[in-house]
Amino acid sequence: MEAFLVSLTTIAVAEIGDRTQLLSLVLVARYRKPLPIIGGILCATLANHGAAGFIGLWFGSVVKPKMLEILVAVSMIAMALWTLKPDKLDEGAASSSAAGAFYATLTSFFIAEIGDKTQIATMALAAAYANLAAVVFGTTLGMLAANVPVVFLGKAFADRLPMKAIHYAASALFLILGVVFLFRALGR
């Protein structure tokens, strides 16, 4: 249960203001079809975070526990610093595919998540907890928790959020997790 809850909260907070959340705004403004967009986000996140989770799980099985916890701690602290730098959506990031809102969301979201901080966090969490299902389910629900309100409420909702404070809170969460894993490693 810890793996699920940590994964859910970490990703939900980290995703606020992330480029994929900005992509959600672009997609809803362009297609105005929330349900296919949400379906695309769900499928893309499951595929992307599932792959990241497998990589993290494998990595966790080949590295000694103490070293793994140190690596996870360092990655979480790095994520804390990365989170302080707000993402901006690149021009043309939304798919121009005529395949519809679902396929445009599926492909653009999957690509936007490659190398994103939430994907890297998913790898680290899967390595740390060795419970692939709990981590991927938690990170996927975290992505949906952050993106579904954006899809339904659009830009008006996003403009009212205190983005700077949210980035600081997400950074603090990653830092706390990094320190917890560091203490676990030093306690071994």
DSSP secondary structure of 116-176? -HHHHHHHHHHHHH--HHHHHHHHHHHHHHHHHHHHHHHHHHHHTS-HHHHHHHHHHHHHH
Q: In this structure, what token pair is assigned to residue 143?
A: 């992505």
Whole-angstrom CA distances from 5 to 70, 137, 176 are 21, 10, 15
Residue 98 has a pLDDT of 34
- The rounded distance, in Å, linking the Cα atoms of 153 and 150 is 5
Structure-block tokens of residue 144: 């949906």
d(CA 167, CA 108): 23
Please state the pTM of the whole predicted model.
Answer: 0.72
pLDDT the model gives residue 90: 43
In this prediction, residue 8 carries a pLDDT of 95
Helices and strands (DSSP H and E) totals, the chain: 8, 0
Tell me the mean pLDDT per 10 residues along the chain, length 188: 93 83 79 89 96 90 79 75 62 46 88 83 90 96 94 69 69 80 80
**Count of alpha carbons within 13 Å of 137, Cβ hemisphere only?**
10
Cβ-contact 180, 75 below 8 angstroms: no
